[in-house]
Chain A
Amino acid sequence: MVEFWAFALALSILLYVLLDGFDLGVGMLFPFARGEEERRRMLASISPVWDGNETWLIISAATLFSAFPPVFAIVLSAFYIPLFVMLAGLILRGVAFEFRYKATLSRPLWDAGFVAGSYAAAFVQGAAVGAIVEGLPIENGVFVGNGMSWVSPFAIFCGIGLCIGYALLGACWIARKSGGSLRTFGFAALPKLMAALLAFLVVVFAWSLAIRLPVLARWTERPLLLVCPLIGLAAFAVLAQAVRSRDDRFLFLGGAAIFLAAFATLAGSFLPYMLPFSLTIWEAASPTTSLAFLFWGAGIFVLPLTLAYTLIVYFVFRGKVVGERSY
C-alpha cells in the first residue's frame, strides 16, 4: 500500500513537472516573442492543455496530504511565503489567459501577470527542490526552522536552473506545435537554453561536491544511479541533433527525457527517504486504514481515469497549431 501511494505520488509529480513545465516555459518565453500575432499563437499552443496540466499539482498535493501527512505539513510550512507566491502566480497566470482578450487598455498588465506568474512558479519549485536536497531542519517529524530556512545560494541557484529547464521544455513545445516564424523562434532559442541548462547541471554537480551534500554519498553506494546522468547526456545529444536538422518529431521527448533523468536521479538518491535524511516513506505514510480507504476508490478508479483523460486531451489536440483557434 505504501509503495503504491509513493509510486502514485512520484508519478503525479513527474507528470506535473513535465506537463506544466512546458506551459510555464512558454509563459517565460512569451515576452521574447515578436509582436501580438506570435504571442497569440504561443498562447493558442498551450491554451487547450495548460490548466489540465495544473490538475496534476492538485492531485500531487491531495495525494501528499492523504498518504504522507507529515511531509505535507513539513514542506508546506517550510516554504510558507514562496508557496503563496507560487499560488498567486498560478492564479494570475490563469486569469491572464482569459482577461487579456477581454481587455484593451490593460492588456500589458495581464501579460505582465502571465509572465511574472510563470517565472515565480518555476523559481519557487526549483528552489524548493534545492532546499530539500540540502536538507530541511526537521526534528521528530516536525519542521523546526523558520520562514527563511529554505533560502540559500544553492536553493536560489536551483530555482534559476528550473526556470531554464522549463523554458527549454517550452521552446521544444513551441517548435513542435507551431510553424513559420514561431517555429523558427523556438529553434533559435533552443541552443542557448540547452547550453545554459548543461552549464547549470555541471555547476550544480560541482557545487554539491564542494558543499559535500549528504545526498552524494548515495552515488558511491548505488553506482547504478550513474545510468541516469548518462541517459540525460544521451538525451542532450539527441536534442542537439534534432535542433541541427530542424527535426521537431522527437524534440519534446528529448527535453522530457532530460527531466526524466534528473527526476530519476533525485528519486534514486532519496529513496527510501522522502525528505533526506529525516523521514522515510514508511515513517511518513498514513496508517494502513487510511491508505486502504484511499486505494479502493481513488487509487484503482480515479487515478487511472484522470490519466486516461490526460491522454485523450493530448490526442485530441495533437499536431500543429495552424491558426489561432483551430488545431
Chain B
Amino acid sequence: MDLTPLLLSRIQFAFTISFHIIFPAFTIGLAAWLTFLEACGLITGERIYRRLSDFWLKIFAVTFGLGVVSGIVMAFQFGTNWSELARRTGPIQGPLLGYESFTGFALEATFFGVLMFGRDRVPRWAYFLACLMVSIGTSLSAYWIMVNNSWMQYPTGYSLAANGVFIPDDWSAILFSEAVRTRFPHMVLAAYVTSAFCVAATGAWYMLRGTAVQEGRAMAVMGLRLAAILVPLQLLFGHLVGDYVHDRQPAKFAAIEGRWNDEQPASEILIAWPDPKNERNLFEIAVPYLGSIIGSMSLTAKETGLKSFAAADRPPVAIPFFAFRIMVGCGLLMLAIAWVGTWLSFGERLVKARLFLVATSLSFPLGFVATLTGWYTAEVGRQPWAVYGELRTADALTPVLTTGEVAATLTLIACIYALIFGFGALYIYRLLRAGPIPRTDISLFGTNPKRPLSLPGASPGVTGGAGIGD
C-alpha cells in the first residue's frame, strides 16, 4: 500500500478521533450517572450516594479535561487536512460544529464550576440541578456532533452552488433527519452503557479487594441494574440504525452483511472471511432467510449485494464486516453480564459469586470497544465518500498536502497523545485505586471547559478558582 497524503490523513483522523471518542463516551455517561446519584441522594437522603457522587466527580473531572484537550486537534484537522471538505461544506458543518463548542461553553462551563467548587456553597437541589445541566450540556454537545456526522452519512436539506459549495436551505431537515433520530439516541445510550459498565466493574473490583465493600456493592448493583435496562434498549436502537442504513446507505449495509450478490430471499452471514479480490467469502457460516428478516422484516425480500455497486463506489468490506460483529458481540456479552448480575443482585448472592465479580471487573473495556467498533462500522462503511453520494473522501483532502508533511504531523500528534494520555490514564488509575475514601481535596482536580487546554491537576491557583462558580 502506498503512503499517500490521503491515506496518512485518514490514519491521522482515525487516530485522533479514536482517542477522542473514548473520553466523551465516558463523560456523557458519567454526567448522567452523577445526576442519577444526586437524585437518589435527594430522594432517599442516604449518605452513601453523596460518597459515590464525590468519588465519581473526581474521575469525571479528569476524563472531561482529557476529552476537551483531545477534541481541539480534531477541530483544526477539518481545515488543515480536509480543507476542500471545509470549504465546500463549511456553511453546514461550520455552524453545526460551531454550536457544539458554543453549547459546551454556555451550559457546561457555567455549571461545571458549580459541580467542582459548589458542593458546600449551594443547596442540594441546586447542586442536583447543576449536575442535570452539565448532563444536558454534554448530551447536547453529542447531539451537534451526531447531527454533523449524520449529515455526512445522509446529506439532506441543502442545495449545491456552482462552485461546489453546499448551501443549507432547510435547517430543520438537517437537525431532525431520519439519521439523527436513530443515531443520536444510539450514541447517547452507548455512552450510558459504557459508563454503567465502568461503574459496575469498579464496584466489583472493590468487592473482590475487600476495600470499600459497601460502596463497591452499591456501584456494582446500580451499574448492572442500569445496564440490564439500557443494553436491551441499545440493541433496539441499534436495530433502528440498521434499518436506516439499509434504506439510505445500501452499499454500507451490504458491506456489513458481507453480501456480495443480490439474494432473494437473503441469508444472514454469521461469520466468514471476506475475500474482496475475488468478490466472495471464505469459510462462510450463514443462516438462510435470516438476512431478509433482518433487512426487511420479511421471508421473501430481495437484499442488495455489493456487486450491484460500481467497484469505485464500494466501501472496504473487512473493516465494517468485522467491526460490526465485534460491536454486536460486545453488546450481547454485556447483556448477559447485566442480566446475570441483576439476577444475582437480589439477595446476598452477588458478594459470594467471586467468578462473576472477576468477570464483571474485567468487563469495563466492553463498552469502549463496542463504541469504537460501532464508529468504525459507520465511518469506514461510508467510504469512499466523505459526504455520502456527493463528495468523495479523496476530493475532500487538502490538495497541496505532501506525504512528508502528513507523516510529520502524524508522528507529532502520536507522541503528544501518548504523553498526555499515558499520564491521564495513570491519574485515573490512581484515583480508582484510592477508592471512595472521603477527601477534602476535590477541588484540586478541577478543570473547566472554559479552560480548554488545561489538564486537571494541582496547579497553583486552581484552588483559588473556587470563586468562579459562585
Contact = CB atoms under 8 A, between A and B. Distances in A.
A287 interface: yes
A92 B412 CA distance: 12
A229 to B, nearest CB: 32
B400 A144 contact: yes
B157 to A, nearest CB: 10
30 contacts: A48-B464, A51-B454, A52-B451, A61-B75, A63-B98, A65-B78, A65-B90, A65-B93, A72-B90, A72-B94, A73-B83, A73-B86, A73-B90, A80-B398, A91-B69, A91-B453, A94-B69, A97-B454, A97-B459, A98-B455, A143-B83, A287-B91, A289-B171, A290-B95, A297-B102, A298-B95, A302-B102, A305-B110, A325-B464, A326-B464
A307 to B, nearest CB: 11
Nearest to B402: A147
A85 B80 CA distance: 12
Nearest to A51: B451
Interface stretch (A166-174, A190-198, A308-316): A308-316
Contacts of B405: 80-81, 147
Contact of B450 (A69, A92, A309): A309
Contacts of A97: 454-455, 457, 459
Nearest to A93: B453
Contacts of B309: none
A253 interface: no
A107 to B, nearest CB: 13
A95 interface: yes
Interface in A41-63: 43-44, 47-48, 50-52, 54-55, 58-59, 61-63
A275 B399 CA distance: 19
Contacts of A305: 105-106, 110
A83 B455 contact: no
A313 B97 CA distance: 26
A294 interface: yes
Contact residue range for chain B? 35 or more
A309 B110 contact: yes
A66 to B, nearest CB: 4
B76 A95 contact: no
Given A54-B452, A76-B79, A80-B405, A88 B412 contact: yes
A325 B98 contact: no
A101 B459 contact: yes
B452 A51 contact: yes
B122 to A, nearest CB: 17
Interface string B70-91: 0011011011100110110111
Interface stretch (B161-169, B215-223, B267-275, B344-352): B161-169
B419 to A, nearest CB: 7
B416 interface: yes
B460 to A, nearest CB: 5
Nearest to A62: B98
Contacts of B167: 287, 289
A48 B464 CA distance: 7
A146 interface: yes
Given A62-B101, A81-B408, A305-B106, A51 B448 contact: yes
A50 B447 CA distance: 12
Contacts of B409: 80-81, 84
Interface string B85-128: 01101111111011101110110011000000000000000000
B465 A48 contact: yes
B458 interface: yes
Nearest to A75: B79
A122 B454 CA distance: 18
B210 interface: no
A327 B464 CA distance: 7
A306 B454 CA distance: 18
Nearest to B400: A146
Contacts of A67: 94
Interface string B54-80: 000000000000000100110110111
A142 interface: yes
B94 A94 contact: no
Contacts of B448: 51-52
Contacts of A69: 86-87, 89-91, 94, 165
Contacts of B463: 325
A265 B454 CA distance: 33
A142 B88 CA distance: 11
Nearest to A294: B95
B1 interface: no
A40 B460 contact: yes
A88 B415 CA distance: 10
Interface in A256-312: 286-287, 289-290, 293-294, 297-298, 301-302, 305-306, 309, 312
Contacts of B413: 84, 88
A247 interface: no
Given A80-B401, A95-B423, 12 more contacts: A51-B452, A52-B451, A59-B105, A62-B98, A65-B78, A77-B398, A97-B459, A289-B91, A289-B169, A293-B95, A294-B99, A309-B109
B426 to A, nearest CB: 10
A99 interface: yes
A1 interface: no
Contacts of A289: 91, 167-169, 171
Contacts of A52: 448, 450-451
A11 interface: no
Nearest to A43: B460
B416 A88 contact: yes
A47 B447 CA distance: 12
B113 to A, nearest CB: 9
A100 to B, nearest CB: 8
Contact of A73 (B84, B95, B109): B84
B420 A142 contact: no
Nearest to A298: B102
B457 A102 contact: yes
Nearest to B169: A289
A74 interface: yes
Nearest to A325: B460
Given A77-B401, A302-B102, A142 B87 contact: yes
Nearest to B93: A65
A90 interface: yes
B400 A143 contact: yes
Contacts of A140: 163
Interface in A158-178: none
B86 A65 contact: yes
A84 B461 contact: no
Given A83-B76, A286-B94, A316-B467, A99 B450 contact: no
A44 B299 CA distance: 70
B87 A73 contact: yes
A141 interface: yes
A327 B468 CA distance: 13
Given A58-B75, A72-B86, A72-B90, A90 B453 contact: yes
For the complex of A and B, 10 pairs with smallest distance between CB atoms:
A69-B90, A76-B79, A51-B451, A98-B457, A47-B461, A66-B94, A94-B453, A66-B98, A73-B83, A51-B454
B462 interface: yes
